[in-house]
Structure 1
Amino acid sequence: MDEGDLTARNLARVQDIYGRYAQGDRSALYEALAPGVTWTSIGEGALPWAGTRQGRAGVERYFGDLDAVADVAGYEVEQVIAQGEWIAVLATVTVRHHGAGGEHRYAKADFIRIVDGMVADFREFYDTAQACRDRARA
Protein backbone atom coordinates (compact mmCIF):
# COMPACT_ATOMS: atom_id res chain seq x y z
CA MET A 1 0.00 0.00 0.00
CA ASP A 2 1.41 3.40 -0.90
CA GLU A 3 1.50 6.27 1.59
CA GLY A 4 -1.41 8.08 -0.09
CA ASP A 5 -3.68 5.05 0.38
CA LEU A 6 -2.47 4.60 3.96
CA THR A 7 -3.11 8.27 4.73
CA ALA A 8 -6.62 8.15 3.25
CA ARG A 9 -7.50 4.95 5.11
CA ASN A 10 -6.18 6.24 8.45
CA LEU A 11 -7.87 9.61 7.98
CA ALA A 12 -11.22 7.91 7.40
CA ARG A 13 -10.69 5.72 10.48
CA VAL A 14 -9.93 8.69 12.76
CA GLN A 15 -12.83 10.72 11.37
CA ASP A 16 -15.18 7.80 12.12
CA ILE A 17 -13.86 7.42 15.69
CA TYR A 18 -14.08 11.17 16.41
CA GLY A 19 -17.50 11.47 14.83
CA ARG A 20 -18.88 8.68 16.98
CA TYR A 21 -17.12 9.99 20.11
CA ALA A 22 -18.59 13.46 19.55
CA GLN A 23 -22.04 11.80 19.54
CA GLY A 24 -21.30 10.21 22.92
CA ASP A 25 -20.21 6.77 21.64
CA ARG A 26 -17.07 6.09 23.68
CA SER A 27 -17.26 2.38 22.80
CA ALA A 28 -16.15 3.24 19.24
CA LEU A 29 -12.91 4.54 20.70
CA TYR A 30 -12.36 1.54 22.99
CA GLU A 31 -12.94 -0.86 20.08
CA ALA A 32 -10.32 1.00 18.03
CA LEU A 33 -7.52 0.67 20.59
CA ALA A 34 -4.53 -1.52 19.79
CA PRO A 35 -3.72 -3.90 22.67
CA GLY A 36 -0.47 -2.04 23.47
CA VAL A 37 -1.78 1.50 22.93
CA THR A 38 0.09 4.33 24.64
CA TRP A 39 -2.27 7.13 25.75
CA THR A 40 -0.74 10.43 26.91
CA SER A 41 -2.48 13.52 28.28
CA ILE A 42 -0.21 16.36 29.33
CA GLY A 43 -0.40 17.82 32.82
CA GLU A 44 0.75 14.82 34.86
CA GLY A 45 0.73 15.66 38.55
CA ALA A 46 -1.52 18.68 38.04
CA LEU A 47 -4.68 17.07 36.69
CA PRO A 48 -6.10 13.72 37.85
CA TRP A 49 -6.59 12.30 34.35
CA ALA A 50 -3.21 13.43 33.00
CA GLY A 51 -0.20 11.21 32.43
CA THR A 52 0.71 8.26 30.24
CA ARG A 53 -1.41 5.10 30.30
CA GLN A 54 -0.83 1.76 28.61
CA GLY A 55 -3.36 -0.58 27.00
CA ARG A 56 -7.15 -0.45 26.96
CA ALA A 57 -7.31 -0.74 30.76
CA GLY A 58 -5.09 2.34 31.01
CA VAL A 59 -7.31 4.29 28.62
CA GLU A 60 -10.38 3.24 30.61
CA ARG A 61 -8.62 4.51 33.79
CA TYR A 62 -7.93 7.81 32.01
CA PHE A 63 -11.63 8.24 31.26
CA GLY A 64 -12.61 7.07 34.75
CA ASP A 65 -10.32 9.69 36.28
CA LEU A 66 -11.68 12.34 33.91
CA ASP A 67 -15.32 11.38 34.54
CA ALA A 68 -14.76 11.56 38.31
CA VAL A 69 -14.06 15.31 38.14
CA ALA A 70 -15.62 16.58 34.90
CA ASP A 71 -18.15 15.95 32.16
CA VAL A 72 -17.30 16.39 28.49
CA ALA A 73 -20.25 18.48 27.30
CA GLY A 74 -19.15 18.93 23.70
CA TYR A 75 -16.44 18.09 21.22
CA GLU A 76 -15.95 19.95 17.95
CA VAL A 77 -13.33 18.94 15.39
CA GLU A 78 -11.98 21.96 13.55
CA GLN A 79 -9.24 20.50 11.38
CA VAL A 80 -7.75 17.09 10.62
CA ILE A 81 -4.30 16.74 9.09
CA ALA A 82 -2.97 13.35 8.01
CA GLN A 83 0.24 11.84 6.75
CA GLY A 84 0.76 8.09 6.71
CA GLU A 85 0.26 6.58 10.15
CA TRP A 86 -0.05 9.97 11.90
CA ILE A 87 -3.18 12.07 12.18
CA ALA A 88 -3.36 15.49 13.87
CA VAL A 89 -6.75 16.70 15.10
CA LEU A 90 -7.37 20.30 16.14
CA ALA A 91 -10.52 20.56 18.20
CA THR A 92 -12.39 22.42 20.89
CA VAL A 93 -13.69 20.51 23.89
CA THR A 94 -16.34 21.86 26.25
CA VAL A 95 -16.00 20.62 29.83
CA ARG A 96 -18.04 21.02 33.00
CA HIS A 97 -15.83 20.55 36.06
CA HIS A 98 -17.95 19.05 38.84
CA GLY A 99 -18.91 21.80 41.27
CA ALA A 100 -17.64 24.62 39.05
CA GLY A 101 -21.10 25.67 37.90
CA GLY A 102 -20.20 26.47 34.33
CA GLU A 103 -18.77 25.26 31.07
CA HIS A 104 -15.20 25.81 29.99
CA ARG A 105 -13.89 25.52 26.43
CA TYR A 106 -10.39 24.40 25.60
CA ALA A 107 -8.62 24.38 22.27
CA LYS A 108 -6.67 21.15 21.95
CA ALA A 109 -4.48 19.23 19.58
CA ASP A 110 -4.49 15.44 19.42
CA PHE A 111 -1.87 13.37 17.63
CA ILE A 112 -2.87 9.80 16.82
CA ARG A 113 -0.83 7.02 15.24
CA ILE A 114 -2.91 4.38 13.48
CA VAL A 115 -1.32 0.98 12.83
CA ASP A 116 -3.33 -1.66 10.97
CA GLY A 117 -6.51 0.35 11.56
CA MET A 118 -6.01 0.55 15.34
CA VAL A 119 -5.00 3.45 17.61
CA ALA A 120 -1.44 2.63 18.68
CA ASP A 121 -0.47 6.02 20.12
CA PHE A 122 -2.53 9.00 21.32
CA ARG A 123 -1.13 12.30 22.62
CA GLU A 124 -3.31 15.25 23.65
CA PHE A 125 -2.18 18.82 24.27
CA TYR A 126 -4.24 21.70 25.70
CA ASP A 127 -3.91 24.62 28.11
CA THR A 128 -3.33 22.69 31.33
CA ALA A 129 -2.76 25.88 33.34
CA GLN A 130 -6.27 27.07 32.43
CA ALA A 131 -7.73 23.63 33.23
CA CYS A 132 -6.05 23.77 36.66
CA ARG A 133 -7.46 27.25 37.33
CA ASP A 134 -10.95 26.13 36.26
CA ARG A 135 -10.76 23.02 38.48
CA ALA A 136 -9.64 25.13 41.44
CA ARG A 137 -12.87 27.15 41.13
CA ALA A 138 -14.90 23.93 41.38
Structure 2
Amino acid sequence: MSEQNVDVIRRFFRLFDEGRLDDIEALLSDDFEWVYHGPKSLPWAGTYHGVAGFREFFGIVRGLIEVQECEAYDYLDAGDRVVVLGYSRTRILANDARYEAQWMNVFTVRDGLITRYLDLYDTASVVEALHAPRG
Protein backbone atom coordinates (compact mmCIF):
# COMPACT_ATOMS: atom_id res chain seq x y z
CA MET A 1 0.00 0.00 0.00
CA SER A 2 2.99 2.34 0.30
CA GLU A 3 2.94 3.20 -3.43
CA GLN A 4 -0.57 4.51 -2.83
CA ASN A 5 0.80 6.58 0.06
CA VAL A 6 3.38 8.16 -2.26
CA ASP A 7 0.55 8.96 -4.69
CA VAL A 8 -1.36 10.75 -1.88
CA ILE A 9 1.68 12.92 -1.16
CA ARG A 10 2.33 13.64 -4.84
CA ARG A 11 -1.28 14.81 -5.03
CA PHE A 12 -0.72 17.00 -1.95
CA PHE A 13 2.16 18.80 -3.70
CA ARG A 14 0.34 19.03 -7.03
CA LEU A 15 -2.61 20.71 -5.31
CA PHE A 16 -0.24 23.03 -3.41
CA ASP A 17 1.45 24.03 -6.68
CA GLU A 18 -1.98 24.80 -8.14
CA GLY A 19 -2.94 26.88 -5.09
CA ARG A 20 -5.80 24.52 -4.24
CA LEU A 21 -5.45 24.51 -0.45
CA ASP A 22 -9.15 23.73 0.07
CA ASP A 23 -8.72 20.52 -1.93
CA ILE A 24 -5.72 19.52 0.21
CA GLU A 25 -7.98 19.57 3.27
CA ALA A 26 -9.76 16.47 1.92
CA LEU A 27 -6.43 14.61 2.20
CA LEU A 28 -6.08 15.31 5.94
CA SER A 29 -7.30 12.96 8.66
CA ASP A 30 -9.42 14.23 11.55
CA ASP A 31 -6.42 13.83 13.86
CA PHE A 32 -3.95 15.47 11.43
CA GLU A 33 -0.88 17.03 13.07
CA TRP A 34 1.59 19.37 11.35
CA VAL A 35 4.88 19.98 13.14
CA TYR A 36 6.95 22.82 11.68
CA HIS A 37 10.29 22.94 13.47
CA GLY A 38 11.99 26.28 13.99
CA PRO A 39 13.03 28.92 16.49
CA LYS A 40 10.57 31.23 18.26
CA SER A 41 11.69 34.02 15.92
CA LEU A 42 9.99 32.19 13.05
CA PRO A 43 6.32 33.26 13.24
CA TRP A 44 4.88 30.04 11.83
CA ALA A 45 7.02 27.51 13.72
CA GLY A 46 4.92 25.27 15.91
CA THR A 47 2.43 22.43 15.91
CA TYR A 48 -0.92 22.65 14.14
CA HIS A 49 -3.85 20.27 14.53
CA GLY A 50 -6.60 19.27 12.13
CA VAL A 51 -8.00 21.26 9.23
CA ALA A 52 -8.26 24.30 11.52
CA GLY A 53 -4.52 24.11 12.17
CA PHE A 54 -3.81 23.72 8.46
CA ARG A 55 -5.82 26.88 7.80
CA GLU A 56 -4.14 28.69 10.71
CA PHE A 57 -0.67 27.95 9.30
CA PHE A 58 -1.54 29.37 5.90
CA GLY A 59 -3.30 32.32 7.51
CA ILE A 60 0.00 33.22 9.16
CA VAL A 61 2.31 32.72 6.19
CA ARG A 62 0.05 34.40 3.60
CA GLY A 63 0.60 37.75 5.28
CA LEU A 64 4.36 37.32 5.50
CA ILE A 65 5.75 35.50 2.46
CA GLU A 66 5.21 34.74 -1.20
CA VAL A 67 6.43 31.33 -2.35
CA GLN A 68 7.92 31.85 -5.79
CA GLU A 69 9.01 28.29 -6.39
CA CYS A 70 8.51 25.08 -4.47
CA GLU A 71 9.86 21.85 -5.87
CA ALA A 72 9.50 18.45 -4.30
CA TYR A 73 12.19 16.56 -6.20
CA ASP A 74 12.42 13.21 -4.44
CA TYR A 75 9.77 10.99 -2.86
CA LEU A 76 11.07 8.17 -0.67
CA ASP A 77 8.68 5.34 0.08
CA ALA A 78 8.94 4.24 3.71
CA GLY A 79 5.74 2.24 4.13
CA ASP A 80 3.24 4.32 6.09
CA ARG A 81 5.68 7.23 5.84
CA VAL A 82 6.71 9.18 2.78
CA VAL A 83 9.85 11.29 2.94
CA VAL A 84 9.99 14.19 0.48
CA LEU A 85 13.08 16.24 -0.32
CA GLY A 86 12.73 19.64 -1.91
CA TYR A 87 13.65 23.28 -2.08
CA SER A 88 11.82 26.58 -2.12
CA ARG A 89 12.49 30.13 -3.25
CA THR A 90 10.48 32.68 -1.32
CA ARG A 91 10.06 36.45 -1.00
CA ILE A 92 9.39 38.25 2.28
CA LEU A 93 6.51 40.68 1.73
CA ALA A 94 7.56 43.27 4.35
CA ASN A 95 11.10 43.89 3.10
CA ASP A 96 11.31 42.24 -0.34
CA ALA A 97 14.16 39.99 0.90
CA ARG A 98 14.44 36.58 -0.71
CA TYR A 99 15.67 33.24 0.48
CA GLU A 100 16.22 29.76 -0.87
CA ALA A 101 15.95 26.81 1.44
CA GLN A 102 16.30 23.05 1.32
CA TRP A 103 13.68 21.07 3.18
CA MET A 104 12.64 17.57 4.11
CA ASN A 105 9.08 16.56 4.89
CA VAL A 106 8.06 13.31 6.54
CA PHE A 107 4.40 12.45 6.01
CA THR A 108 2.53 9.66 7.76
CA VAL A 109 -0.38 8.28 5.75
CA ARG A 110 -3.12 6.03 7.15
CA ASP A 111 -6.07 4.74 5.12
CA GLY A 112 -5.29 7.16 2.30
CA LEU A 113 -5.24 10.24 4.56
CA ILE A 114 -2.35 12.29 5.91
CA THR A 115 -2.17 11.97 9.69
CA ARG A 116 1.16 13.70 10.37
CA TYR A 117 3.36 16.18 8.53
CA LEU A 118 6.83 16.75 9.98
CA ASP A 119 8.29 19.82 8.27
CA LEU A 120 12.08 20.15 8.59
CA TYR A 121 13.48 23.26 6.96
CA ASP A 122 16.61 25.41 6.69
CA THR A 123 15.08 27.98 9.02
CA ALA A 124 18.27 30.03 9.45
CA SER A 125 17.91 31.45 5.94
CA VAL A 126 14.25 32.24 6.60
CA VAL A 127 14.88 34.09 9.88
CA GLU A 128 17.73 36.06 8.29
CA ALA A 129 15.47 37.17 5.43
CA LEU A 130 12.60 38.04 7.78
CA HIS A 131 14.87 40.39 9.74
CA ALA A 132 16.75 41.90 6.79
CA PRO A 133 16.36 45.65 6.24
CA ARG A 134 14.16 46.64 3.33
CA GLY A 135 16.43 46.80 0.29
Secondary structure of 2:63's aligned partner? helix
Is this contact kept in 1: 2:99–2:125, CA < 8 A? no
Q: What CA distance in whole angstroms lies between the structure 2 residues aligned with 1:27 and 1:73?
A: 20
Shift of residue 83, structure 1, vs aligned partner: 1.7
Matching residue's letter, 1:88: V
Deviation, 1:72, is: 1.6
Alignment of 1:110-121 (within 5 A): 110-121=105-116
- Number of aligned pairs? 133
User: What is the aligned-residue RMSD (CA, Å)?
Assistant: 1.3
Partners in 2 of 1:105 and 1:28 — Cα distance? 27
Say yes or no: does 1:39 pair with 2:34.
yes
Other-structure match for 2:86? 91
Q: 1:54 to 1:44 in 2, by over 3 A?
A: farther
TM-score, normalised with respect to structure 2: 0.91
Q: How does 1:17-56 map to 2 (within 5 A)?
A: 17-56=12-51
Identity %: 21
The letter for the 1-side match of 2:9 is V
Counterparts of 1:114 and 1:85, CA distance in 2: 5
Offset of residue 81 of structure 1: 0.2
In structure 1, distance between residues paired with 2:19 and 2:82: 21
Within a 5 Å distance, the mapping from 1:1-138 to structure 2 comes to: 6-137=1-132
Ranges of 4+ aligned residues in structure 1 off by more than 4 Å: none
For structure 1, which runs of at least 5 residues remain unmatched after alignment? 1-5
Moved more, 118-127 or 19-28: 19-28
Q: Deviations over 1:10-53 (max 9, x none)?
A: 01111111112112222232121111111010115121111011
